[in-house]
Structure 1
Amino acid sequence: MDTVSVNKFRDNLKAFVEQAVSTHTPIKVTRRAGEAFVVMSADDWEREQETLYVLQNSSLMKQIADSTTTHTQRAGYAPTSEQMDEITRI
């Protein structure tokens, strides 16, 4: 994560916003008082929020762990060749 001063951020606002949106890299903006804030694209923020929701939801995490186990053991559902043909034609 790049770090810039609030003065440099203010002077180059358009360029920093474009950088955050196009590179999907948040930018930390520091202030003289020591407090800082982060600038990131809305899409990246929403993705982070969804990730946090899943990580905090024990039921979803258990489903993911169970799915990983069955996949690793090749014990999960296996579609028929007809079903695979239908899926791959999409």
Structure 2
Amino acid sequence: METVSVNRFRDNLKVLVEDVIHNHEPLKVTRRAGEDFVVVSAADWEREQETLHVLQSSDLMRQIAVSLKTHSQSSGYQPTEGELNEITGV
């Protein structure tokens, strides 16, 4: 994660924010007399929140573990050709 001073952030706000959005990399902004803060795009923030939700749900984590096990053993649900076409939009 790149780090910049609050002065550099203020002076280059547009360019730095565009970089955060385009590169999907957060930016840490340091302040001399206060707490640092992080700039992240809204899309990346939402993705992180969804990930945290999944990680905090024991039921979802259990489902993922079962799915990984059945996938590695090739014993999971096998969709029909029609179902695959519906999923892939073919």
* Structure 1 gap segments, 5+ residues each: none
The alignment status of 1:19 with 2:19, answered yes or no, reads yes
* TM-score in terms of structure 1 length: 0.89
2:8 counterpart SS class = helix
Alignment correspondent of 2:31: 31
Q: Cα offset for 1:83?
A: 3.2
> Residues 36 and 83 (structure 1 numbering): CA distance in 2 closer, same or farther, change over 3 Å?
same
What percent of counterpart residues are identical? 64
CA deviation vs aligned residue, 1:11-43 (integer Å, no higher than 9, x gap): 000011100001000000000025200001000
Distance 1:28 1:83 in 2: 48
Distance 1:40 1:77 in 2: 38
- Counterpart AA for 1:23: N
Q: Give the paired residue count.
A: 89
> Residues 55 and 85 (structure 1 numbering): CA distance in 2 closer, same or farther, change over 3 Å?
closer
> Residues 3 and 85 (structure 1 numbering): CA distance in 2 closer, same or farther, change over 3 Å?
closer
2:37 counterpart SS class = strand
Distance 1:61 1:26 in 2: 26
2:16 counterpart SS class = helix
* Structure 2 gap segments, 5+ residues each: none
Alignment correspondent of 1:41: 41
Q: Cα offset for 1:86?
A: 3.8
* TM-score in terms of structure 2 length: 0.89
- Taking only aligned residues, the RMSD between alpha carbons, in angstroms, comes to 1.7
Q: Cα offset for 1:63?
A: 0.3
